[in-house]
A = this chain, B = another copy of it.
Amino acid sequence: MSDLTPRLHAGAPLRLEERFASRAGGMQASEIRSLFAVASRPEIVSLAGGMPNLSALPMDVMASLVHDLISRNGAEALQYGNGQGLPKLREQICEVMALEGIHANADDIIVTTGSQQALDLISRIFIDPGDVVLVEAPSYVGALGTFKQYEAQVVHVELDNQGLVPEALRQAIKSVRSSGRKIKFLYLIPNYQNPSGVLLSADRRTEILEICRSESIFVVEDNPYGLLGFDVPSPNAMRSEDSENVIYLGSFSKTIAPGLRVGWALVPSSLKEKIVIASESSILCPSNFTQMTISNYLADQPWRDQIATFCGLYKVRRDAMLESLETHFPASATWTKPGGGFYVWVNLPPEIDTKAMMPKAIVAKVAYVPGTAFYADGFGTWAMRLSYCHPTPERIREGVKALAGVVKTEIARRNGNFELKS
Protein backbone atom coordinates (compact mmCIF):
# COMPACT_ATOMS: atom_id res chain seq x y z
CA MET A 1 0.00 0.00 0.00
CA SER A 2 1.40 3.35 -0.99
CA ASP A 3 1.44 6.25 1.44
CA LEU A 4 -0.58 8.12 -1.13
CA THR A 5 -3.54 5.79 -0.68
CA PRO A 6 -6.27 7.84 0.97
CA ARG A 7 -7.22 6.65 4.44
CA LEU A 8 -10.99 6.52 4.51
CA HIS A 9 -11.22 5.79 8.23
CA ALA A 10 -9.04 8.25 10.06
CA GLY A 11 -9.12 6.24 13.31
CA ALA A 12 -8.14 2.91 11.78
CA PRO A 13 -4.76 1.41 12.56
CA LEU A 14 -2.10 1.46 9.89
CA ARG A 15 -2.30 -1.17 7.20
CA LEU A 16 -5.66 -2.47 8.35
CA GLU A 17 -6.21 -3.87 4.86
CA GLU A 18 -3.33 -6.23 5.36
CA ARG A 19 -4.85 -7.63 8.52
CA PHE A 20 -7.98 -8.91 6.80
CA ALA A 21 -8.40 -12.33 5.26
CA SER A 22 -8.15 -12.55 1.51
CA ARG A 23 -11.91 -13.17 1.23
CA ALA A 24 -12.65 -9.87 3.00
CA GLY A 25 -11.31 -7.90 0.05
CA GLY A 26 -14.61 -8.31 -1.74
CA MET A 27 -16.80 -7.41 1.22
CA GLN A 28 -18.15 -4.05 0.15
CA ALA A 29 -21.57 -2.50 0.23
CA SER A 30 -23.63 -3.65 -2.76
CA GLU A 31 -25.89 -1.54 -4.92
CA ILE A 32 -28.91 -3.36 -3.50
CA ARG A 33 -27.97 -2.26 0.01
CA SER A 34 -27.75 1.48 -0.53
CA LEU A 35 -30.91 1.20 -2.57
CA PHE A 36 -32.92 -0.37 0.22
CA ALA A 37 -32.27 2.54 2.53
CA VAL A 38 -33.96 4.84 0.04
CA ALA A 39 -36.64 2.46 -1.18
CA SER A 40 -38.01 1.94 2.33
CA ARG A 41 -39.15 5.55 2.60
CA PRO A 42 -42.95 5.55 2.65
CA GLU A 43 -43.46 7.92 -0.27
CA ILE A 44 -41.56 5.58 -2.60
CA VAL A 45 -43.40 2.69 -4.30
CA SER A 46 -40.89 -0.05 -3.73
CA LEU A 47 -40.81 -2.62 -6.50
CA ALA A 48 -37.34 -3.46 -5.21
CA GLY A 49 -37.64 -5.64 -2.15
CA GLY A 50 -38.59 -9.29 -1.80
CA MET A 51 -40.50 -8.90 1.44
CA PRO A 52 -43.49 -11.23 1.63
CA ASN A 53 -46.85 -9.66 2.23
CA LEU A 54 -47.90 -10.55 5.77
CA SER A 55 -51.19 -8.68 5.68
CA ALA A 56 -53.05 -11.99 5.25
CA LEU A 57 -51.37 -13.69 8.22
CA PRO A 58 -53.79 -13.95 11.19
CA MET A 59 -51.82 -12.08 13.85
CA ASP A 60 -54.28 -12.89 16.64
CA VAL A 61 -53.75 -16.60 15.96
CA MET A 62 -49.98 -16.17 15.90
CA ALA A 63 -50.08 -14.19 19.15
CA SER A 64 -52.03 -16.91 20.95
CA LEU A 65 -49.79 -19.56 19.50
CA VAL A 66 -46.56 -18.04 20.83
CA HIS A 67 -48.23 -17.29 24.16
CA ASP A 68 -49.25 -20.93 24.61
CA LEU A 69 -45.89 -22.16 23.43
CA ILE A 70 -44.03 -20.23 26.13
CA SER A 71 -46.51 -20.91 28.90
CA ARG A 72 -46.56 -24.67 28.20
CA ASN A 73 -43.03 -25.32 26.90
CA GLY A 74 -41.04 -22.23 27.79
CA ALA A 75 -38.22 -24.17 29.43
CA GLU A 76 -37.56 -25.99 26.15
CA ALA A 77 -38.41 -23.15 23.76
CA LEU A 78 -36.04 -20.72 25.47
CA GLN A 79 -33.20 -23.22 25.96
CA TYR A 80 -30.35 -24.23 23.63
CA GLY A 81 -31.39 -26.82 21.09
CA ASN A 82 -29.45 -29.29 19.02
CA GLY A 83 -27.39 -28.25 16.03
CA GLN A 84 -29.41 -30.15 13.46
CA GLY A 85 -32.78 -28.77 14.51
CA LEU A 86 -35.79 -30.14 16.38
CA PRO A 87 -36.74 -33.71 15.37
CA LYS A 88 -40.47 -32.98 15.37
CA LEU A 89 -40.10 -29.99 13.07
CA ARG A 90 -37.90 -32.02 10.73
CA GLU A 91 -40.69 -34.63 10.48
CA GLN A 92 -43.17 -31.88 9.65
CA ILE A 93 -40.84 -30.47 7.02
CA CYS A 94 -41.01 -33.87 5.32
CA GLU A 95 -44.80 -33.42 5.05
CA VAL A 96 -44.37 -29.97 3.54
CA MET A 97 -41.91 -31.27 0.96
CA ALA A 98 -44.22 -34.17 0.10
CA LEU A 99 -46.47 -31.57 -1.58
CA GLU A 100 -43.76 -31.27 -4.22
CA GLY A 101 -43.21 -34.99 -4.63
CA ILE A 102 -40.27 -35.37 -2.24
CA HIS A 103 -39.91 -38.49 -0.11
CA ALA A 104 -37.39 -37.61 2.58
CA ASN A 105 -36.00 -38.89 5.84
CA ALA A 106 -36.12 -36.34 8.67
CA ASP A 107 -32.61 -37.40 9.62
CA ASP A 108 -31.27 -35.88 6.39
CA ILE A 109 -32.70 -32.44 7.16
CA ILE A 110 -30.74 -29.64 8.79
CA VAL A 111 -32.77 -26.69 10.07
CA THR A 112 -31.09 -23.37 9.26
CA THR A 113 -31.45 -19.66 10.04
CA GLY A 114 -33.34 -19.05 6.81
CA SER A 115 -32.17 -20.77 3.66
CA GLN A 116 -29.49 -18.13 3.35
CA GLN A 117 -27.61 -19.98 6.09
CA ALA A 118 -27.97 -23.21 4.13
CA LEU A 119 -26.33 -21.49 1.16
CA ASP A 120 -23.52 -20.43 3.43
CA LEU A 121 -23.02 -23.93 4.83
CA ILE A 122 -22.99 -25.57 1.43
CA SER A 123 -20.47 -23.03 0.21
CA ARG A 124 -18.40 -23.72 3.31
CA ILE A 125 -18.11 -27.44 2.80
CA PHE A 126 -17.56 -27.30 -0.96
CA ILE A 127 -15.83 -24.14 -2.10
CA ASP A 128 -12.10 -23.62 -2.14
CA PRO A 129 -10.93 -20.31 -3.63
CA GLY A 130 -11.07 -20.49 -7.42
CA ASP A 131 -13.61 -23.34 -7.56
CA VAL A 132 -16.45 -22.83 -10.00
CA VAL A 133 -20.14 -22.59 -9.16
CA LEU A 134 -22.59 -22.68 -12.06
CA VAL A 135 -25.64 -20.44 -11.72
CA GLU A 136 -28.48 -19.24 -13.88
CA ALA A 137 -28.10 -15.97 -15.76
CA PRO A 138 -29.38 -13.97 -13.89
CA SER A 139 -29.39 -15.45 -10.36
CA TYR A 140 -30.30 -14.59 -6.75
CA VAL A 141 -28.16 -11.72 -5.47
CA GLY A 142 -27.80 -13.24 -1.98
CA ALA A 143 -26.42 -16.47 -3.38
CA LEU A 144 -23.94 -14.60 -5.56
CA GLY A 145 -22.78 -12.69 -2.49
CA THR A 146 -22.19 -15.88 -0.52
CA PHE A 147 -20.34 -17.62 -3.35
CA LYS A 148 -18.16 -14.54 -3.69
CA GLN A 149 -17.30 -14.60 0.04
CA TYR A 150 -16.02 -18.13 -0.39
CA GLU A 151 -13.98 -16.88 -3.35
CA ALA A 152 -15.77 -19.03 -5.91
CA GLN A 153 -15.69 -18.22 -9.60
CA VAL A 154 -19.31 -17.84 -10.62
CA VAL A 155 -20.09 -18.97 -14.17
CA HIS A 156 -23.51 -17.98 -15.51
CA VAL A 157 -25.49 -20.37 -17.69
CA GLU A 158 -28.19 -19.21 -20.10
CA LEU A 159 -31.76 -19.04 -18.86
CA ASP A 160 -34.75 -18.69 -21.18
CA ASN A 161 -38.50 -18.70 -20.64
CA GLN A 162 -38.42 -22.45 -19.89
CA GLY A 163 -35.61 -22.06 -17.35
CA LEU A 164 -31.96 -23.08 -17.48
CA VAL A 165 -30.98 -24.24 -20.98
CA PRO A 166 -29.56 -27.80 -20.83
CA GLU A 167 -27.38 -27.41 -23.90
CA ALA A 168 -25.86 -24.24 -22.43
CA LEU A 169 -25.15 -26.21 -19.26
CA ARG A 170 -23.28 -28.88 -21.23
CA GLN A 171 -21.25 -26.21 -22.97
CA ALA A 172 -20.43 -24.45 -19.71
CA ILE A 173 -19.26 -27.67 -18.07
CA LYS A 174 -17.06 -28.46 -21.05
CA SER A 175 -15.63 -24.97 -21.18
CA VAL A 176 -14.87 -24.78 -17.45
CA ARG A 177 -13.30 -28.21 -17.37
CA SER A 178 -11.14 -27.50 -20.41
CA SER A 179 -9.67 -24.61 -18.43
CA GLY A 180 -8.72 -27.02 -15.63
CA ARG A 181 -11.06 -25.60 -13.00
CA LYS A 182 -13.20 -27.65 -10.61
CA ILE A 183 -16.99 -27.30 -10.74
CA LYS A 184 -18.43 -27.74 -7.25
CA PHE A 185 -22.15 -27.46 -7.89
CA LEU A 186 -24.92 -26.07 -10.04
CA TYR A 187 -27.10 -23.62 -8.11
CA LEU A 188 -30.57 -22.98 -9.46
CA ILE A 189 -34.06 -21.85 -8.46
CA PRO A 190 -36.43 -23.97 -10.57
CA ASN A 191 -39.70 -22.38 -9.43
CA TYR A 192 -40.55 -18.74 -10.19
CA GLN A 193 -36.91 -17.92 -10.16
CA ASN A 194 -35.46 -14.93 -8.37
CA PRO A 195 -35.00 -12.56 -10.19
CA SER A 196 -36.63 -13.69 -13.46
CA GLY A 197 -39.89 -15.32 -12.32
CA VAL A 198 -39.21 -18.18 -14.77
CA LEU A 199 -40.41 -21.76 -14.15
CA LEU A 200 -38.09 -24.59 -15.17
CA SER A 201 -40.01 -27.06 -17.34
CA ALA A 202 -40.44 -30.66 -16.19
CA ASP A 203 -38.52 -32.10 -19.14
CA ARG A 204 -35.57 -29.84 -18.54
CA ARG A 205 -35.52 -30.80 -14.85
CA THR A 206 -34.94 -34.41 -15.81
CA GLU A 207 -32.36 -33.53 -18.43
CA ILE A 208 -30.40 -31.23 -16.11
CA LEU A 209 -30.42 -33.88 -13.37
CA GLU A 210 -29.02 -36.42 -15.82
CA ILE A 211 -26.29 -34.08 -16.99
CA CYS A 212 -25.21 -33.23 -13.45
CA ARG A 213 -25.32 -36.81 -12.23
CA SER A 214 -23.24 -38.07 -15.11
CA GLU A 215 -20.75 -35.26 -14.57
CA SER A 216 -20.62 -35.71 -10.76
CA ILE A 217 -21.79 -32.16 -10.14
CA PHE A 218 -24.13 -31.62 -7.20
CA VAL A 219 -27.36 -29.77 -7.92
CA VAL A 220 -28.34 -27.18 -5.30
CA GLU A 221 -32.07 -26.73 -5.74
CA ASP A 222 -33.21 -23.56 -3.97
CA ASN A 223 -36.98 -23.61 -3.70
CA PRO A 224 -38.53 -20.82 -1.63
CA TYR A 225 -41.36 -20.18 -4.08
CA GLY A 226 -42.44 -23.69 -5.14
CA LEU A 227 -45.76 -23.60 -3.30
CA LEU A 228 -46.54 -20.11 -4.62
CA GLY A 229 -47.80 -21.06 -8.07
CA PHE A 230 -50.90 -19.06 -9.03
CA ASP A 231 -52.21 -20.74 -12.14
CA VAL A 232 -51.19 -24.41 -12.24
CA PRO A 233 -49.28 -26.55 -9.74
CA SER A 234 -45.49 -26.45 -10.17
CA PRO A 235 -43.75 -29.56 -11.53
CA ASN A 236 -42.33 -31.84 -8.83
CA ALA A 237 -39.15 -30.70 -7.15
CA MET A 238 -35.94 -31.91 -8.76
CA ARG A 239 -35.07 -33.60 -5.48
CA SER A 240 -38.07 -35.91 -5.99
CA GLU A 241 -36.20 -37.51 -8.91
CA ASP A 242 -32.74 -37.70 -7.37
CA SER A 243 -31.98 -38.11 -3.66
CA GLU A 244 -28.25 -38.66 -4.05
CA ASN A 245 -27.10 -35.76 -6.15
CA VAL A 246 -29.50 -32.98 -5.16
CA ILE A 247 -29.10 -30.66 -2.19
CA TYR A 248 -32.52 -29.16 -1.59
CA LEU A 249 -33.08 -25.83 0.18
CA GLY A 250 -36.44 -24.90 1.63
CA SER A 251 -37.76 -21.99 3.66
CA PHE A 252 -40.80 -20.89 5.63
CA SER A 253 -40.01 -17.25 4.87
CA LYS A 254 -42.50 -17.03 2.02
CA THR A 255 -45.11 -19.55 3.18
CA ILE A 256 -45.33 -18.50 6.85
CA ALA A 257 -43.08 -15.60 7.88
CA PRO A 258 -39.45 -14.55 7.34
CA GLY A 259 -39.02 -12.92 10.76
CA LEU A 260 -38.79 -16.38 12.33
CA ARG A 261 -35.70 -17.15 10.22
CA VAL A 262 -36.45 -20.84 9.71
CA GLY A 263 -35.29 -22.62 6.59
CA TRP A 264 -33.76 -26.00 5.94
CA ALA A 265 -31.47 -28.10 3.79
CA LEU A 266 -32.31 -31.66 2.77
CA VAL A 267 -29.01 -33.23 1.86
CA PRO A 268 -27.65 -36.58 0.65
CA SER A 269 -26.84 -38.63 3.79
CA SER A 270 -23.15 -38.52 2.98
CA LEU A 271 -23.09 -34.74 3.49
CA LYS A 272 -25.13 -34.47 6.66
CA GLU A 273 -22.45 -34.68 9.30
CA LYS A 274 -20.31 -31.99 7.73
CA ILE A 275 -23.26 -29.65 7.27
CA VAL A 276 -24.30 -30.06 10.91
CA ILE A 277 -20.77 -29.42 12.13
CA ALA A 278 -20.46 -26.40 9.87
CA SER A 279 -23.75 -25.07 11.24
CA GLU A 280 -22.74 -25.57 14.86
CA SER A 281 -19.54 -23.69 14.19
CA SER A 282 -21.57 -20.93 12.56
CA ILE A 283 -24.48 -20.45 15.01
CA LEU A 284 -24.24 -23.31 17.58
CA CYS A 285 -27.92 -24.18 17.06
CA PRO A 286 -31.02 -22.70 15.45
CA SER A 287 -33.55 -21.04 17.76
CA ASN A 288 -35.77 -23.53 19.58
CA PHE A 289 -38.33 -20.77 20.04
CA THR A 290 -38.81 -19.95 16.38
CA GLN A 291 -38.60 -23.62 15.37
CA MET A 292 -41.32 -24.55 17.87
CA THR A 293 -43.42 -21.62 16.70
CA ILE A 294 -43.32 -23.02 13.16
CA SER A 295 -43.88 -26.56 14.43
CA ASN A 296 -46.96 -25.63 16.43
CA TYR A 297 -48.28 -23.56 13.55
CA LEU A 298 -47.93 -26.51 11.18
CA ALA A 299 -49.51 -28.85 13.73
CA ASP A 300 -52.53 -26.73 14.66
CA GLN A 301 -53.24 -24.26 11.88
CA PRO A 302 -54.67 -24.72 8.36
CA TRP A 303 -51.34 -23.92 6.75
CA ARG A 304 -52.27 -25.23 3.29
CA ASP A 305 -55.25 -22.86 3.24
CA GLN A 306 -53.03 -20.03 4.40
CA ILE A 307 -50.65 -20.66 1.49
CA ALA A 308 -53.63 -20.62 -0.87
CA THR A 309 -54.61 -17.26 0.64
CA PHE A 310 -51.11 -15.93 0.04
CA CYS A 311 -51.26 -17.17 -3.55
CA GLY A 312 -54.51 -15.30 -4.13
CA LEU A 313 -53.00 -12.14 -2.72
CA TYR A 314 -49.89 -12.38 -4.90
CA LYS A 315 -51.82 -13.34 -8.04
CA VAL A 316 -53.82 -10.10 -7.90
CA ARG A 317 -50.58 -8.17 -7.56
CA ARG A 318 -48.89 -10.08 -10.37
CA ASP A 319 -51.86 -9.29 -12.61
CA ALA A 320 -51.75 -5.62 -11.64
CA MET A 321 -48.08 -5.45 -12.54
CA LEU A 322 -48.39 -7.27 -15.88
CA GLU A 323 -51.40 -5.18 -16.90
CA SER A 324 -49.62 -1.96 -15.99
CA LEU A 325 -46.49 -2.97 -17.86
CA GLU A 326 -48.63 -3.74 -20.90
CA THR A 327 -50.43 -0.42 -20.62
CA HIS A 328 -47.53 1.91 -19.86
CA PHE A 329 -44.19 0.45 -20.88
CA PRO A 330 -42.73 1.22 -24.32
CA ALA A 331 -42.88 -1.37 -27.07
CA SER A 332 -39.10 -1.73 -27.02
CA ALA A 333 -39.22 -3.28 -23.51
CA THR A 334 -39.87 -6.97 -22.88
CA TRP A 335 -40.65 -8.78 -19.65
CA THR A 336 -41.34 -12.21 -18.19
CA LYS A 337 -44.85 -13.42 -17.28
CA PRO A 338 -44.38 -15.32 -14.03
CA GLY A 339 -46.87 -18.03 -13.03
CA GLY A 340 -45.98 -17.61 -9.37
CA GLY A 341 -43.52 -16.15 -6.91
CA PHE A 342 -42.64 -12.49 -6.48
CA TYR A 343 -40.76 -11.18 -9.54
CA VAL A 344 -40.92 -9.87 -13.07
CA TRP A 345 -37.73 -9.35 -15.09
CA VAL A 346 -37.76 -6.46 -17.51
CA ASN A 347 -35.36 -5.97 -20.41
CA LEU A 348 -35.08 -2.42 -21.73
CA PRO A 349 -33.32 -1.36 -24.92
CA PRO A 350 -29.60 -2.08 -24.53
CA GLU A 351 -28.58 1.58 -24.51
CA ILE A 352 -30.35 2.08 -21.16
CA ASP A 353 -28.30 1.76 -17.97
CA THR A 354 -30.76 0.87 -15.21
CA LYS A 355 -28.27 1.61 -12.45
CA ALA A 356 -27.65 5.11 -13.79
CA MET A 357 -31.41 5.54 -14.17
CA MET A 358 -32.16 4.72 -10.52
CA PRO A 359 -31.86 8.25 -9.09
CA LYS A 360 -34.41 9.43 -11.65
CA ALA A 361 -36.77 6.66 -10.65
CA ILE A 362 -36.39 7.64 -7.00
CA VAL A 363 -37.29 11.21 -7.91
CA ALA A 364 -40.38 9.76 -9.61
CA LYS A 365 -41.10 7.91 -6.34
CA VAL A 366 -40.53 4.36 -7.53
CA ALA A 367 -37.71 1.85 -6.84
CA TYR A 368 -36.51 -1.35 -8.50
CA VAL A 369 -33.34 -3.43 -8.48
CA PRO A 370 -30.95 -2.87 -11.41
CA GLY A 371 -30.14 -6.00 -13.40
CA THR A 372 -26.40 -5.98 -12.71
CA ALA A 373 -27.09 -7.00 -9.09
CA PHE A 374 -28.02 -10.46 -10.36
CA TYR A 375 -24.88 -11.12 -12.38
CA ALA A 376 -21.40 -11.78 -11.05
CA ASP A 377 -19.84 -10.38 -14.19
CA GLY A 378 -21.30 -6.90 -14.75
CA PHE A 379 -23.90 -8.09 -17.25
CA GLY A 380 -27.52 -6.93 -17.05
CA THR A 381 -27.03 -3.17 -17.41
CA TRP A 382 -30.27 -2.76 -19.38
CA ALA A 383 -32.41 -5.03 -17.19
CA MET A 384 -34.27 -4.60 -13.93
CA ARG A 385 -36.13 -6.74 -11.41
CA LEU A 386 -39.59 -5.61 -10.39
CA SER A 387 -41.27 -7.27 -7.43
CA TYR A 388 -45.01 -7.21 -6.91
CA CYS A 389 -45.19 -9.05 -3.59
CA HIS A 390 -45.49 -6.24 -1.12
CA PRO A 391 -47.33 -3.09 -2.33
CA THR A 392 -51.07 -2.95 -2.87
CA PRO A 393 -52.29 -3.43 -6.48
CA GLU A 394 -53.08 0.30 -6.64
CA ARG A 395 -49.58 1.23 -5.58
CA ILE A 396 -48.12 -1.27 -8.04
CA ARG A 397 -50.06 0.38 -10.89
CA GLU A 398 -48.95 3.80 -9.71
CA GLY A 399 -45.33 2.67 -9.44
CA VAL A 400 -45.20 0.95 -12.83
CA LYS A 401 -46.77 3.98 -14.47
CA ALA A 402 -44.25 6.32 -12.87
CA LEU A 403 -41.41 3.99 -13.84
CA ALA A 404 -42.67 3.83 -17.43
CA GLY A 405 -42.43 7.60 -17.56
CA VAL A 406 -38.82 7.48 -16.38
CA VAL A 407 -37.98 4.77 -18.89
CA LYS A 408 -39.58 6.61 -21.80
CA THR A 409 -37.75 9.80 -20.91
CA GLU A 410 -34.50 7.88 -20.69
CA ILE A 411 -35.03 6.21 -24.05
CA ALA A 412 -35.86 9.54 -25.63
CA ARG A 413 -32.81 11.16 -24.05
CA ARG A 414 -30.55 8.36 -25.27
CA ASN A 415 -31.99 8.74 -28.74
CA GLY A 416 -31.13 12.41 -28.66
CA ASN A 417 -34.77 13.41 -28.41
CA PHE A 418 -34.86 15.48 -25.25
CA GLU A 419 -38.45 16.54 -25.57
CA LEU A 420 -40.65 13.61 -24.78
CA LYS A 421 -43.95 13.43 -26.58
CA SER A 422 -46.78 11.45 -25.03
Measuring CB to CB, which residues of chain A are less than 8 angstroms from any residue of chain B?
9, 11-16, 19-24, 27-30, 51-52, 54-55, 57, 59-60, 62-64, 66-71, 74-81, 113-114, 116-117, 120, 124-128, 131, 142, 145-146, 149-150, 184, 216, 218, 244-245, 253, 257-261, 268-270, 273-274, 277-278, 280-290, 293
B66 x A54 contact (CB < 8 A): no
Known: A14-B216, A59-B71. A79 touches B281 (CB 8 A): no
In the complex, what residues of B have CB within 8 A of residue A59's CB?
Answer: 70-71, 74-75
Give the nearest-CB partner of A8 in chain B: B270
In the complex, what residues of B have CB within 8 A of residue A51's CB?
Answer: 79-80
Known: A66-B66, A71-B63, A79-B51. A124 touches B287 (CB 8 A): no
Known: A74-B63, A284-B142. A274 touches B24 (CB 8 A): yes
A78 x B54 contact (CB < 8 A): yes
Give the nearest-CB partner of A71 in chain B: B63
User: Given the complex of chains A and B, what is the CA–CA distance between A270 and B57 in angstroms?
Assistant: 41
User: Given the complex of chains A and B, what is the CA–CA distance between A121 and B260 in angstroms?
Assistant: 21
B21 x A127 contact (CB < 8 A): yes
User: Given the complex of chains A and B, what is the CA–CA distance between A274 and B23 in angstroms?
Assistant: 10
Known: A19-B184, A289-B259. A116 touches B27 (CB 8 A): no
Known: A70-B66, A281-B149. A21 touches B261 (CB 8 A): no
In the complex, what residues of B have CB within 8 A of residue A55's CB?
Answer: 75
A-B contact pairs, 28 of them (CB 8 A): A11-B244, A13-B216, A20-B125, A20-B126, A21-B131, A22-B128, A24-B126, A24-B278, A27-B274, A62-B74, A63-B74, A78-B260, A80-B258, A80-B259, A113-B113, A116-B283, A117-B283, A120-B283, A142-B280, A142-B281, A142-B284, A149-B278, A149-B281, A260-B287, A261-B283, A282-B282, A283-B283, A290-B290
In the complex, what residues of B have CB within 8 A of residue A128's CB?
Answer: 21-23
A303 CB to nearest chain B CB (Å): 14
Out of B22, B52, B71, which one reaches A60, CB within 8 Å? Answer: B71
User: Given the complex of chains A and B, what is the CA–CA distance between A37 and B125 in angstroms?
Assistant: 24
In the complex, what residues of B have CB within 8 A of residue A116's CB?
Answer: 280-284
A270 x B12 contact (CB < 8 A): yes
B289 x A125 contact (CB < 8 A): no
Q: Told that A54-B78, A116-B280 touch, could you supply 8 new A-B pairs with CB distance under 8 A?
A: A12-B244, A23-B125, A51-B79, A59-B74, A66-B67, A78-B258, A78-B259, A282-B282
In the complex, what residues of B have CB within 8 A of residue A71's CB?
Answer: 59-60, 63
User: Given the complex of chains A and B, what is the CA–CA distance between A64 and B69 in angstroms?
Assistant: 11
A266 CB to nearest chain B CB (Å): 15
In the complex, what residues of B have CB within 8 A of residue A77's CB?
Answer: 259
B283 x A11 contact (CB < 8 A): no
Give the nearest-CB partner of A9 in chain B: B270
A244 CB to nearest chain B CB (Å): 6
B283 x A259 contact (CB < 8 A): no
User: Given the complex of chains A and B, what is the CA–CA distance between A237 and B33 in angstroms?
Assistant: 33
Out of B68, B150, B259, which one reaches A287, CB within 8 Å? Answer: B259
A23 x B124 contact (CB < 8 A): yes
